[in-house]
Amino acid sequence: MVGVRPATHVPESDFETVGSTPRKKTISSPYLHRLQRRHFLLFDVLPIAGTAAALAFLTVHPIGVTELALLFSMWVVTGLGVTVGYHRLFTHRTFKAAPSVVAVLAVLGSMAGQGGVVSWVALHRRHHECSDREGDPHSPNLAGGGLKGRLRGLAHSHFLWMRRHEYPNVVHYAPDLIRNRALVRVARLYYYWVALGLALPALVGGLVYQSWAGAVSGLFWGGLVRMFVLEHIIWAINSFLHMFGTHPYESRENSRNGGIFALLTFGESWHNNHHAFPDSSSFGLSWYRLDPGYWLIKILALGGLAWDVKRPSEERMKASRISRNGKPAPSTTA
Ligand SMILES: [Zn+2]
Ligand SMILES: [Zn+2]
């Protein structure tokens, strides 16, 4: 998804002017749509089929501690790669990190199979720019009213939008990333990182069980099932948390918090907090709101591997807080 060819069709409504030259903010071409369809089938549909196959494979090879450990550890490291690396570091620049940390986070995020880092960042910055309005790649709120419209919106935002969508111009949306040669190199190798994320658990499974069945079981549980689980958790932020949940902070879109899912989402489910303060490395904003992604950033900072960790001031949070009657309540505590 990274090597972008010239567009053959560009919607005229979406230009920005740089000097006297109009620059396209999104690109749409048959070549890009072919890549999107391939990515959708390989990394979004295949994990569903793989999960079904993994369940069927249980009759041949029962699940053991090894599979559970592979599923859990690969889910945690790739999940943190997405939330801490892709999201909080590369998209929103909420902290700075040592080059080694930058590289590891980019690789772990890539292994999740949710797109190369440059494409992911460009798409997510577009989401923040157009949230729940025309141009948002995955809003659940633009498919009409009524139950049918809401269900159509949820299906689109959760999953179906990835089949075919306008591609945000990375020159416009991710100029900082494409200037970083090391990061572009990681992005170009995206398919290899995903393959590595599948090969590693297969290798461990094969070694532990000393059999091909063990390798297949490792591939299933540490690879495809893990991708399936993480993908649906991350996609639920795009779909359900732009429709259901609490809304403690003023923000112009329909983002919501789902605190009960905080641990499961590594802190991503504080989505209204995040839209209200996208420059904050903490999504929970308070110590008692669980935010494993922020815990990792704090640990990295303690070890001198991360710095300039940004958080909004108490005054800023108070100013954006909505009171129980729906009006801004600058005097309430955050
Ligand atoms: Zn964001
Ligand atoms: Zn959002």
pLDDT digits (tens, 9 = 90+) for 24-78: 899 889 999 999 999 999 999 999 999 999 999 999 999 999 999 999 999 999 9
> Of 179, 172, 183, which is closest to residue 116 (Cα–Cα)?
183
Distance of CA 149 from the midpoint of ligand 1 (Å): 25
pLDDT at 236: 93
Q: Tell me the Cα Rg of the chain.
A: 20
pLDDT at 323: 74
Q: Tell me if 41 is assigned to some domain.
A: yes
pLDDT at 144: 86
Distance of CA 67 from the midpoint of ligand 2 (Å): 33
User: Is the pLDDT confidence value at 162 over 50?
Assistant: yes
pLDDT at 75: 98
Q: Tell me if 330 is assigned to some domain.
A: no
With 0-12 CB in 10 A as exposed, 13-18 as middle and 19+ as buried, what is 167?
buried
Distance of CA 321 from the midpoint of ligand 2 (Å): 18
Distance CA 162, CA 196 (A): 23
Distance of CA 85 from the midpoint of ligand 2 (Å): 17
Q: Are 217 and 203 in contact (CB under 8 A)?
A: no
pLDDT at 327: 57
Cα 144–146–148 angle (5° rounding)? Answer: 80
Q: Tell me if 327 is assigned to some domain.
A: no
Distance of CA 324 from the midpoint of ligand 1 (Å): 26
Distance of CA 312 from the midpoint of ligand 1 (Å): 15
Q: Between 12 and 101, where is the model more confident? A: 101
Q: Tell me if 51 is assigned to some domain.
A: yes
pLDDT at 83: 97
Q: Tell me if 328 is assigned to some domain.
A: no
Mean pLDDT of the chain: 90
pLDDT at 24: 87
pLDDT at 332: 38
Number of domains present in the structure of the chain: 1
Rounded to an integer, the average pLDDT of 263-269 is 96
Q: Are 47 and 227 in contact (CB under 8 A)?
A: yes
Handedness of CA 143, 275, 273, 316 (dihedral sign): negative
Q: Tell me if 329 is assigned to some domain.
A: no
Distance of CA 212 from the midpoint of ligand 1 (Å): 41
Percent of the chain with pLDDT over 70: 90
Handedness of CA 293, 297, 299, 300 (dihedral sign): positive
Q: Tell me if 325 is assigned to some domain.
A: no
Distance of CA 210 from the midpoint of ligand 2 (Å): 45
Among the bound ligands, the one closest to the CA of 269: 2
User: Is the pLDDT confidence value at 330 over 70?
Assistant: no
What residues are paired with 270 via a beta bridge?
Answer: 257
Cα 164–80–115 angle (5° rounding)? Answer: 20
pLDDT at 116: 94
Distance of CA 195 from the midpoint of ligand 1 (Å): 26
Percent of the chain with pLDDT over 90: 82
Distance of CA 137 from the midpoint of ligand 1 (Å): 13
Rounded to an integer, the average pLDDT of 124-129 is 95
Distance of CA 83 from the midpoint of ligand 2 (Å): 13
pLDDT at 160: 92
Q: Which of 22-26, 289-293, 305-309 has the lowest mean pLDDT?
A: 22-26
Domain enclosing residue 266, as ranges: 15-320
20 HSE (CA, 13 A, CB side): 0
pLDDT at 143: 87
pLDDT at 325: 63
User: Is the pLDDT confidence value at 102 over 50?
Assistant: yes
Cα torsion 146, 149, 155, 156 to 10°: value is -150
Distance of CA 124 from the midpoint of ligand 1 (Å): 6
Q: Tell me if 173 is assigned to some domain.
A: yes
Distance of CA 283 from the midpoint of ligand 1 (Å): 10
192: which residues sit within 8 A by CB, 6+ positions away?
none
